[in-house]
């Protein structure tokens, strides 16, 4: 305390301070290089229930997707964030929609079209149980007995949005989380999914739960390797590249 006063000090929590700073940095309504553009971003994992207690999921924290949604909003975009279960707060200036399963995420994304930009960051489960038990599954035949699960494919959200003949976003960006041959797998995914760009990274370490990322930007023109940096920096760098694709006449067609 100053000036001879005594008593308990009071400082807002660091998260609240950071949120206030981010809000002040957001582009004013209708301003910024992406003003007038709608962006749909997916983030986090999905959960595919086996029964009322258990589900199939993955280690995605949602940090990268949330950071991208926030970065796009800072550049003036109207951002819709479709998110699986995470512990994160929806960023300021972003409209959030919370879902659980891949089917719910697919339906939520479709409901936000048409859009100019789609960034598919979420780690969506490829499969779901063919049926969900209405009561908790029990062991049968003892602890050594095997359990068989029948799985069915989930909707391929990225491919379905990229292949739409109507309401296809002008720029579709996918993510490739790989553990080996990152660039080769990412380039194959770019072709297989029909998207415009792929952001690829090696998730064999602590990337899915950590705060840093090291990615490749893969396009039909080539590959850029970005150095390891905070996920917020990756997000802003990507948002700026997206803005360039919409604002620079030489990059008007982002799919080239």
pLDDT in tens, 19-63: 667 656 665 656 799 999 999 999 999 999 999 999 999 989 999
CB 171 within 8 A of CB 115: no
| pLDDT at residue 7, as a whole number | 67
CATH architecture for segment(s) 23-130+150-248: 3-Layer(aba) Sandwich (3.40)
Catalytic residues: 3
Total-model pTM = 0.86
CB 212 within 8 A of CB 229: yes
Q: Where do the structural domains in the chain lie, given as residue ranges?
A: 23-130+150-248
| pLDDT at residue 24, as a whole number | 63
pLDDT tens for each residue of 138-184 = 877 666 667 788 999 999 999 999 999 999 999 999 999 998 999 99
- Using a 10 angstrom Cβ sphere, with 0-12 exposed, 13-18 middle and 19 or more buried, the burial of residue 255 is middle
pLDDT for residue 14 is more than 80: no
What residues have CB less than 8 Å from 212, skipping those under 6 apart?
A: 228, 229, 230, 231
**Percent of the chain scored above 70 by pLDDT?**
82
pLDDT tens for each residue of 81-93 = 999 999 999 999 9
| pLDDT at residue 186, as a whole number | 97
Confidence of residue 208 (pLDDT cuts 50, 70, 90): confident
List the structure tokens of 127. 């499969």
Rounded mean pLDDT of 1-26? 65
């Amino acid at each position: 305390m100053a000036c001879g006063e005594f008593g308990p000090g009071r400082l807002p929590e660091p998260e609240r301070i950071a949120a206030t700073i981010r809000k002040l940095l957001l582009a004013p309504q209708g301003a910024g290089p992406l003003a007038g553009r709608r962006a749909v971003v997916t983030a986090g994992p999905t959960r595919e229930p086996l029964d009322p207690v258990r589900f199939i999921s993955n280690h995605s924290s949602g940090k990268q997707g949330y950071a991208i949604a926030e970065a796009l909003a800072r550049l003036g975009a109207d951002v819709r964030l479709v998110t699986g279960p995470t512990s994160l707060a929806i960023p300021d200036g972003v409209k959030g929609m919370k879902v659980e399963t891949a089917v719910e995420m697919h339906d939520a994304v479709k409901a936000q079209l048409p859009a100019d930009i789609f960034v598919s960051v979420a780690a969506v489960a490829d499969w779901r149980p063919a049926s969900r038990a209405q009561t908790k599954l029990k062991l049968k035949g003892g602890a050594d007995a095997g359990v068989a699960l029948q799985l069915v494919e989930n909707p391929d959200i990225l491919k379905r949005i990229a292949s739409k003949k109507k309401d296809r976003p002008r720029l579709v960006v996918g993510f490739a989380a790989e553990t080996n041959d990152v660039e080769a797998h990412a380039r194959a995914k770019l072709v297989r999914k029909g998207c415009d760009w792929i952001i690829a990274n090696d998730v064999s370490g602590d990337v899915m739960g950590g705060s840093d990322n090291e990615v490749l930007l893969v396009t039909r023109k080539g590959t850029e390797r970005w150095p390891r940096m905070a996920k917020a920096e990756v997000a802003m760098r990507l948002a700026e590249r997206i803005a360039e694709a919409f604002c620079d006449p030489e990059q008007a067609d982002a799919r080239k």
